[in-house]
Amino acid sequence: MKPKLNPEAKAIYRAITAEIKKRLSLPGSEAHLERFSLTNDPGEIRERQEYLRTNLPKVRPEMRGLISKVRPIRFQKEFLSDRVLLIDESEVERAESLGLCHVTTDPTEAQEYPIVLSTLGYGVDVELKPQDIAPELYLLPLWKNRGTLEALARIGEMTGERSVAPDILDALEKFGEVMERESVLESLDELIAEKEHELNEKIGERLENFSLTLSGKELLNFLTQLREGNYDAIFRHFSGIEEEILELINRAEHELSERLGTAVEVFSREELYPVRVAPESIEGLRRLLERELALERYLAARETLEKIGPLIPKLRYEIERVHELDFLLAVREFTEGFSFPGVWEGGIAFLQGRHLFIENPQPVSYVVGKKPEELNVPGADAVRDEGIVILTGANSGGKTSLLELITQIEILFHMGFPVPAQKAWIEPLDELFFFRRKKSVYGAGAFETALRSFVRALRGKGKKLILIDEFEAITEPGAAVKIIGELLKVARERGFLVVIVSHLGEDLKKELPFARVDGIEAKGLDENLNLIVDRQPIFGKLGRSTPELIVERLARTSRGKDREIYERILVSFGRGV
Ligand SMILES: Nc1ncnc2c1ncn2[C@@H]1O[C@H](COP(=O)(O)OP(=O)(O)OP(=O)(O)O)[C@@H](O)[C@H]1O
């Protein structure tokens, strides 16, 4: 069963889950936190603890960078217009229902497509299944997510849980070669423009050098022809250089062919300088390359998918597991130094508990209900397994913070998490109530609302822990003693656990002999005249509110007449400055 929390306890639950969520690196990992919603089933709590004990040590902070690189790999259906499926009439319906490409029964029509797939022995042989018809739809997402695969491979090495990612990356290499050619195709215009420019520079240079070897007269002659743009005349006289230029063009085209993986002839031979490429020849080349590549890519994808296909289910599992690791890492970081509480009967106790949201808190040990043997902190002898405790003591002593700490420990325990204490013993609860001190001190409204909530908390049966912060602030002390007295008697009769913060400890103690009164006390003033408070409550001892320390501080910090008065007050406490 899920234990019930009142709104203020719920706010603490939300603050705790927010702490874990803010440590997650990936969207989607939150789902794992939902598996840790509150439960009071001791078996379930133990199982969760066992799971965390085994799995938390597997994650390390160094994994965070890798985890954050993992992206979901989605395989999506798409209609591919570069291929046709040539099939028998009887297969048309089934082929069309796949919705992956054009379908025809006419071989002539099929010839128009770069890729012809067929069950009839034309083109590439296929069966009517997506892996055969559109293997790229599986391969492309994997290729684009190589970063994810590399991260998975490294995470696998770190956890010792072997990943399939390295095998997939290996298999993808061949497909990568085709993808590489495809990226060259995308920059075809620049590639050719670059070659054209390079070629013209080379030819220009050749021409310039050549002119230097002419005699003065020849030079004048050729300069005139050059000026007139009459290159043909020059070339006629010097057919040697024409050959050289043709050789330069051939070499440039050869280099392009190597780069593009197909025979390229794009530079005109008629006009040798400057060399130009006609836009139509680039377009023609592009179409040719696209056709060739489409088929090549299809074949590479199909071959690669045969190796990778069986690994995909494991890959999906691994990506899900990374979300789990992300969650575990967040929990590990949040619960660093915490301990797993034992399932206990008859209350809650903890050693050296540390408030989650106070920086460098003083650790505090506490018990409500049955005291474990091991809780042998100083003063614990005074504990008589009381289920009803009145917490008293110095202003700003840490009473509210202690109620918060108890709530935090309870909530983490009921989630199955470790708790911020050196050791803890906790009984699963049906209900947890935390009533904060109400800000509106005056007005019957606040009093009525608070009283109603307490009475509601005391209704019914079950294991309950009720934490109340200073109820008397909203009514007169006399009435408060009567009301609290009666409420706590009801709580005791029903076996509920209660911690109530009150300054009326003395009066309540008389009224409620079964209750324990604990006190937090100030020990003195430090060199800056701040109160030194020992946050550890003393069991069974009323906490003095030590107003004389405040008087002492005022006496020490004031002058003249004021000081005289403070000193007189101090003397009445039996103290001097
Ligand atoms: N264990 C602790 N270690 C360090 N600081 C603490 C601890 N507990 C409380 N404090 C700090 O002491 C201050 C007062 O705490 P808190 O409000 O809990 O006291 P309180 O006794 O409820 O005060 P009041 O009497 O005004 O209600 C807070 O600033 C809190 O951060």
Residues 366 and 468 in one domain: yes
In this structure, the strands spanning 423-426 and 347-353 are antiparallel
Ligand 1 shell residues, CB under 6 Å: 355, 358, 361-362, 364, 395-401, 535
Q: What was the pLDDT predicted at 439?
A: 64
Tell me whether strands 364-369 and 464-469 are parallel, antiparallel or unpaired.
unpaired
366 and 224 within one domain = no
Give the CB-side neighbour count of residue 347, counting CA atoms within 13 A.
21
Instruction: Write the residue with the smallest CA distance to atom 15 of ligand 1.
Output: 398
Q: What is the pLDDT of residue 441?
A: 53
Do 450 and 356 share a domain, yes or no? yes
pLDDT of residue 214: 66
Give the number of domains in the chain.
2
Q: What is the pLDDT of residue 529?
A: 83
- Is 389 in the same domain as 489? yes
Per-residue pLDDT, 182: 82
Which CATH number does the domain housing residue 471 bear?
3.40.50.300
Give the number of the atom of ligand 1 that is nearest the alpha carbon of residue 470: 27
Pairing of strands 423-426, 342-343: parallel
Main-chain phi, psi angles of 361, to 5 degrees: -70, 155
Give the Å distance between the CA of 398 and the centre of ligand 1. 3
Is residue 317 in some structural domain?
no
413 within some domain = yes
Q: Which residues are annotated as a binding site?
A: 393-400
Verify that 342 and 278 share a domain, yes or no.
Answer: no
Q: How far is the CA of 437 from the centre of ligand 1 (A)?
A: 13
User: Residue 522, SS3?
Assistant: strand
What values do phi and psi take at 115, rounded to 5?
-120, 120
Q: Would 556 be classed as within a structural domain?
A: no
For atom 16 of ligand 1, the residue with the nearest CA is 398
Predicted local distance difference test score (pLDDT) of residue 76:
92
Decide: 277 and 191 in contact? Cβ < 8 Å.
no
User: If you measure from the C-alpha of residue 549 to the centroid of ligand 1, how many angstroms do you get, rounded to a whole number?
Assistant: 17
d(CA 80, CA 82): 6
Provide the pLDDT for residue 201: 86
Residue 68 forms part of a structural domain:
no
Structure tokens at 294: 């489409």
Both 369 and 434 in one domain: the answer is yes
Q: Are residues 354 and 418 in the same domain?
A: yes
How remote is the CA of residue 288 from the centroid of ligand 1, in Å? 78
Encoding tokens for residue 251?
């070499």
Element (H, E) at 557: helix 547-557
| Rounded-to-integer distance, Cα 247 and Cα 44, Å | 82
Residues 516 and 384 in one domain: yes
Q: Note the ipTM here.
A: 0.98
Residues 497, 403, single domain; the answer is yes
Which pLDDT belongs to residue 438? Answer: 74
Contact between 525 and 553 (Cβ < 8 Å) = yes
Are 408 and 493 members of one domain? yes
Provide φ and ψ at 357, rounded to 5°: -115, 15
Mean pLDDT by 10 residues, the chain (577 residues): 95 98 95 96 98 95 95 94 94 94 93 92 92 95 96 93 95 89 83 85 78 70 81 69 81 84 78 76 85 90 94 95 96 97 96 97 97 92 94 90 98 98 98 86 74 92 94 80 94 97 90 94 85 92 83 89 92 78
Report if residue 463 sits inside a domain. Answer: yes
Spatial distance between the Cα atoms of 566 and 572, rounded to a whole number of angstroms: 10
Within a domain: residue 562? no
Q: Which atom of ligand 1 is nearest to the CA of 437?
A: 27
Domain span at residue 266?
A: 192-283
Report the atom number in ligand 1 closest to the C-alpha of 355. 1
Q: CA-to-CA distance for 278 and 290, rounded, in angstroms?
A: 19
Where do the H-state alpha helices sit in 125-187? 130-133, 136-144, 146-159, 165-186
123 belongs to a structural domain: no
From 239, 261, 283, the end of a domain falls on: 283
Structure tokens at 248: 């330069």
Q: Provide the 3-class DSSP secondary structure of residue 96.
A: helix
Which among 521, 402, 411, 524 has a CA at the least distance from the CA of 470?
402
The answer to whether residues 369 and 275 belong to one domain is: no
Separation of 400 CA from ligand 1 center, angstroms?
6
Q: Could you tell me if residue 109 is inside a domain?
A: no
Among 354, 356, 358, 544, which residue has the most ligand 1 atoms within 8 Å of its CB, making it the best to mutate?
A: 358
516-531: b (≥16 Cβ within 10 Å) or e: bbbbbbbeeeeeeeeb
Judge if 345 and 277 occupy the same domain: no
- Cα of 542 vs centre of ligand 1, distance in Å, is 17
Bind-site residues for ATP: 393-400
